[in-house]
Amino acid sequence: MRYTSTEVLEHLASSYVLGTLTGGARRRFERLQRDRADVRALVSQWEARLGQLAVSVPALQPSSRLWTAIAARTRPARESTATAGWLGRLKPAGLGLGGLAAGILAASLLFVTAPTMFISSDQLAMRSGEKLPQSYVGLLTDAQGHGKLLVSSLRHGKTMTVKVIGPITPPASGTLMLWAVPASGQAFSLGKVPTSGSAVTVLPDTSEKLLAKVSLLVVTLEASETPVTPGGTIVFSGNCAKLW
């Protein structure tokens, strides 16, 4: 496959950063990154865009069974007895297997969400090819946590782009509508949602005036094509983040 299409590269880079690109496709894309600086820059852009969203995701406390399962899969059987000894000594200090795994996860997340702690903002801009514009961004997922839509709009712009990043089955009837939900007040419509590709919606005002107090974005399945308020089933949802 010749990776010359900008749309294909955008899709692969976003899927790679989100973690939805797996198996052989992910390995091929990693090899492509090693060979092409433009692909590495594209991945850096998506890391900067999507990394900020991770900050707004509430932390979940893993069950004790999860750590047991991780230990069983990552620690060879012949080492289990010996390793258990030093793990046991570390646990009272809060550095058991769970603490180690959490520390690795936290360090990885910190690099993605705050890359300027490791490299300067100018270096980051050089890696990505340009400084990222101030924007409002939302990553919407389904009930199972699968990424479905990426919503973005320049802070002082009057258009919003809705990009499909995961498979969406077109509804047999009704219309998928995107809503902005302020921290207080009535939800308002941001337009129809595509089931493939991307769509650009013209906003009645700048994103700054419309979304400054919006904390949540949701997609509902509505019977009407021009609903005034959300009344249908919520199919996707996600936080509305500020990238600046």
pLDDT at 58: 60
Query: What is the structure's pLDDT at 188?
Result: 94
Angle at 50 between CA 14 and CA 188, to 5 degrees: 105
173 vs 18 pLDDT, higher one: 173
Architecture of domain 135-243: Sandwich (2.60)
Tell me whether residue 160 is exposed, middle or buried, using C-beta atoms within 10 angstroms of its C-beta: 0 to 12, 13 to 18, 19 or more: buried
The residue with greater pLDDT, 5 or 60, is: 5
Give me the torsion for CA of 144, 149, 153, 159, rounded to 10°.
-140
- pLDDT tens, 26-62? 889 898 888 888 888 888 778 777 766 665 556 666 6
pLDDT of residue 91: 40
Give the Cα separation of 119 and 165 in Å (integer): 29
Residues with Cβ < 8 Å from 78, sequence gap 6 or more?
none
pLDDT in tens, 137-157: 888 999 888 889 989 888 899
The whole-number pLDDT of residue 1 equals: 61
Kindly report, residue by residue over 67-76, the tens digit of the pLDDT. Answer: 777 777 666 5
pLDDT-above-70 percentage for the chain: 70
pLDDT surpasses 70 at 133: yes
Q: Answer whether 57's CB lies under 8 Å from 139's CB.
A: no
Q: How far apart are CA 49 and CA 53, in angstroms?
A: 8
Euclidean distance between CA atoms 232 and 1, whole angstroms: 42
Average pLDDT over residues 90-119: 44
β-sheet with 214-222: strand ranges across: 188-192, 175-182, 214-222, 233-243, 135-141, 147-154, 159-164, 198-202
Q: Is 1 exposed, middle or buried (0-12, 13-18, 19+ CB in 10 A)?
A: exposed
pLDDT at 93 exceeding the cut of 90 = no
Residue 132, C-beta contacts closer than 8 angstroms, at least 6 positions apart: 45, 48, 49, 125, 243
Question: Average pLDDT for residues 75-95, to the nearest whole number?
Answer: 43
